[in-house]
């Protein structure tokens, strides 16, 4: 029976301050400047959850986050030129639905800033074609890995993460979403001899993912679907939080940060009319409802952004509280160490 391990309250505190001075507890940038500021970036040993409705861009957002960290260069649409990425972190996107080819076309669109549908239909201009070709070269040189796990179990997820951590030295893991596969149901009932409910399985899964963050000192982002009640709440302008996660709102208990991304609703658009008058171009079309942010000051906020779903480039507009009142967020600029 191992005893619990205790310390006197101040033990090791000088080392802690020294460590925070040398490298503050700040992660690497996310694909959104506002979210980077709100969450202090993507931090190791932390588990973030970003859920959305079906077709809401869960996997797309993860590919964009991974490219933001790992692509050696990105095409800057403002300056119309290629810019070297200061961050060269190693990342893996583990997808249960999209095959690698689909992740690749998304990555090419993000890196080049050329709409994905143009790439897929081959309707690019000469200039865009050149950019996409260059993006392909960038993708080949970048420390990004893609994995496809169609019918997975928990062992399989663990093995895939382990393989990437050990073989590819990956530190940033994007697992596209927590849902229960046929194999997981079978694996769980065989192991425990009882038939677990879906919500119990999803909870065990998120617990496992959080455990892997600590074990391997990695950052992990995952997602869930939403349950059937989100639409009514969204239409009525109610607060969007863990209540609308599919399977079990307890999944969010295991996370360090949790959010739900939804299109801008009619209610919200009316509520922010005055803010929009000060002029935002392009206007916000999505809202990220942040409902959990452990250890940070802003934990119930809404980030209004314009997300181009064709390139997954995000332009953040402003942040409000849950009542759509404007709040100021101090911008966190993260420089590569």
Q: Does residue 284 carry a pLDDT above 80?
A: yes
First-last CA distance in the chain: 43
Provide the CATH topology of domain 27-259. Rossmann fold (3.40.50)
pLDDT of 25: 67
pLDDT-based confidence at residue 63 (cuts at 50, 70, 90) = very high
If phi over 0 gives left and psi between -120 and 50 gives alpha, with beta otherwise, what is residue 109? alpha
Q: What does pTM read for this prediction?
A: 0.90
Q: Where would I find the H helices in 97-193?
A: 100-112, 116-121, 126-141, 154-167, 182-192
Find out whether 292 and 257 touch, Cβ atoms under 8 Å. Answer: yes
Q: What digits encode the pLDDT tens for the residues 192-218?
A: 777 778 788 888 888 889 999 999 999
Q: Which residues contact 69 (CB under 8 A, 6 or more apart)?
A: 28, 29, 42, 87, 89, 91, 172
- Can you tell me the mean pLDDT for 135-161? 92
Q: Residue 310: exposed, middle, or buried by beta-carbon count in 10 A (0-12, 13-18, 19+)?
A: middle
pLDDT band at 295 (very low <50, low <70, confident <90, very high): confident
Query: Count of CB atoms within 10 A of residue 60's CB?
Result: 24
- CB of 211 closer than 8 Å to CB of 259: no
Integer Cα distance of 109 and 263 in angstroms: 21
Per-domain residue ranges for the chain?
27-259
């Amino acid at each position: 029976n191992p005893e619990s391990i205790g310390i006197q309250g101040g033990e090791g505190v000088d080392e802690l301050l020294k460590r925070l001075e040398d490298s503050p507890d700040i992660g690497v940038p996310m694909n959104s400047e506002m979210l980077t500021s709100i969450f202090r970036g993507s931090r190791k040993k932390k588990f973030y959850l970003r859920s959305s409705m079906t077709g809401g861009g869960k996997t797309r957002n993860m590919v964009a986050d991974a490219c933001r960290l790992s692509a050696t260069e990105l095409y800057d649409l403002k300056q119309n030129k290629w810019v070297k990425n200061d961050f060269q972190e190693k990342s893996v996107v583990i997808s249960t639905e999209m095959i690698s080819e689909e992740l690749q076309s998304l990555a090419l669109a993000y890196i080049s800033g050329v709409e994905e549908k143009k790439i897929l239909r081959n309707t690019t201009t000469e200039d865009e074609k050149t950019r996409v070709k260059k993006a392909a070269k960038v993708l080949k040189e970048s420390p990004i890995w893609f994995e496809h796990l169609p019918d997975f179990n928990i062992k399989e997820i663990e093995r895939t993460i382990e393989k990437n951590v050990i073989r590819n030295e990956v530190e940033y893991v994007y697992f596209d979403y927590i849902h229960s596969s046929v194999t997981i149901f079978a694996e769980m009932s065989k192991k425990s001899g009882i038939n677990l409910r879906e919500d119990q399985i999803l909870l065990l899964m998120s617990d496992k993912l959080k455990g892997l963050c600590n074990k391997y000192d990695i950052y992990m982002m995952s997602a869930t679907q939403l349950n059937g009640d989100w639409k009514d709440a969204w239409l009525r302008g109610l607060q969007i939080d863990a209540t609308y996660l599919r399977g079990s709102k307890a999944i969010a208990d295991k996370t360090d940060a949790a959010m739900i991304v939804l299109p801008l609703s009619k209610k919200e658009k009316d509520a922010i009319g005055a803010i929009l008058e000060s002029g935002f171009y392009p206007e916000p079309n999505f809202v990220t409802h942040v409902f959990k942010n452990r250890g940070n000051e802003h934990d119930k906020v809404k980030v209004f952004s314009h997300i181009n779903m064709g390139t997954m480039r995000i332009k953040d507009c402003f942040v409000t509280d849950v009542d759509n009142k404007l709040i100021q967020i101090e911008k966190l600029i993260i420089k590569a160490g």
